[in-house]
Amino acid sequence: MVRGIYTGAMGMLVDMARLDTISNNLANVDTIGYKKDTPVFKAYLNRNVYMMDRKSQTIKPVKFIGNLEQAVILDEVRPAMVQGPIIHTGNKKDFAIDGLGFFVLRSPDGKLFYSRAGNFKTDNQNNLIDDNGNFVLDNEGNTVKWNEEYTVDENGWVYDKQNKKLFRFGIVRFSDPSKLEKYGYKLFLQTQESGIPVEDVDSKVMQGFIEGSNVNALNEMIKMISAMRHFEIAQRIITTEDQLLDRAVNSVGNIRG
């Protein structure tokens, strides 16, 4: 019965993780270039139950309970790299990528980011930047100097008003983009698991468009209702196990009496 209480509590923790992820997704349903979070859970056939020893302030296994079988914990939260809706804006500094590519950005301190959010603007030196002040880079790693008369073709090449080819946007792809590390709401960092960035020549660049969030609000609401109901069931399990344990203890006490 004590194990039943721990099993119910474990289920509640899983549902809390699901609800946190769903809430974050719903909060970013209108965030440009946002990729929804997907919780990934890991199952253990045999896992120890631990408790905090108040005297030594250390975590120790609870020996009188033993191991907890079929435990489930949150392993990681991955971004779902499904493409979001392409929205027309008509702004010449807005860009959307149709494909698996990412824009390459560099922070003022030199850190490289990758993003699907192409709602750019210019600073006082006419550098093309995102809304966090990160510089947009071309395919040679240089900052992009922008002119309002520039046009961009679907391959990411930028032309001046005389239709002279100037440079190409830095568009890269990864072998496993789901392994990119999320930084904030719409920026990503390269990881060892994601692979190195390579130039993407297959994706199409659309000027005057942006990519919206790939969060489906209706689906997330359905997931939230499901998680809340499962959370309530886990609560009932704990209450029932507690009542059974109370009866068992009282029954033993009456027999001894």
Question: Mean per-residue pLDDT for 242-256?
Answer: 66
Q: What is the pLDDT of residue 252?
A: 62
Residue ranges of E strands in the chain? 37-47, 50-53, 58-61, 68-79, 86-88, 95-98, 102-106, 112-115, 121-122, 128-129, 135-136, 151-152, 157-159, 165-168, 171-173, 181-183, 187-189, 198-199, 204-207, 209-211
Residues 174 and 98 in one domain: yes
Q: What is the pLDDT of residue 107?
A: 96
Give percent of the chain above pLDDT 90. 65
Residues 126 and 205 in one domain: yes
Residues 121 and 49 in one domain: no
Task: Give residues with Cβ within 8 angstroms of 45, minimum separation 6.
Answer: 69, 70
Q: What is the pLDDT of residue 118?
A: 95
Question: Mean per-residue pLDDT for 181-201?
Answer: 94
pLDDT in tens, 145-174: 999 999 999 999 999 999 999 999 999 999
Q: What is d(CA 162, CA 165) in angstroms, rounded to the nearest whole number?
A: 9
Q: What is the pLDDT of residue 58?
A: 78
Q: What is the pLDDT of residue 65?
A: 57
Q: How many domains does the structure of the chain reveal?
A: 2
Residues 177 and 93 in one domain: yes
Residue 233 has pLDDT above 60, yes or no: yes
Residues 105 and 162 in one domain: yes
Closest C-alpha among 79, 80, 85 to residue 30? 85
Task: Identify the domain containing residue 99 by its residue range.
Answer: 86-211
Q: What is d(CA 34, CA 79) in angstroms, rounded to the nearest whole number?
A: 9
Greatest pairwise CA separation for the chain in angstroms: 101
pLDDT in tens, 14-70: 888 899 999 999 999 999 999 999 988 877 655 666 666 777 777 766 665 555 556
Residues 180 and 205 in one domain: yes
Residues 154 and 91 in one domain: yes
Residues 38 and 60 in one domain: yes
Closest C-alpha among 232, 238, 15, 200 to residue 116? 200
The mean pLDDT of the chain is 87
Q: What is d(CA 184, CA 163) in angstroms, rounded to the nearest whole number?
A: 37
Instruction: Tell me phi and psi for residue 11, to 5 degrees.
Output: -65, -40
| Count of CB atoms situated within 10 Å of the CB of 133 | 12
Residues 75 and 127 in one domain: no
Q: What is the pLDDT of residue 67?
A: 58
Residues 104 and 181 in one domain: yes
Q: What is the pLDDT of residue 14?
A: 85
Q: Select from 176, 191, 211 the last residue of a domain.
A: 211
Look-up of token digits 């659309």: 206
Residue 7 has pLDDT above 90, yes or no: no
Give percent of the chain above pLDDT 70. 85
Residues 104 and 192 in one domain: yes
| Count of CB atoms situated within 10 Å of the CB of 132 | 16
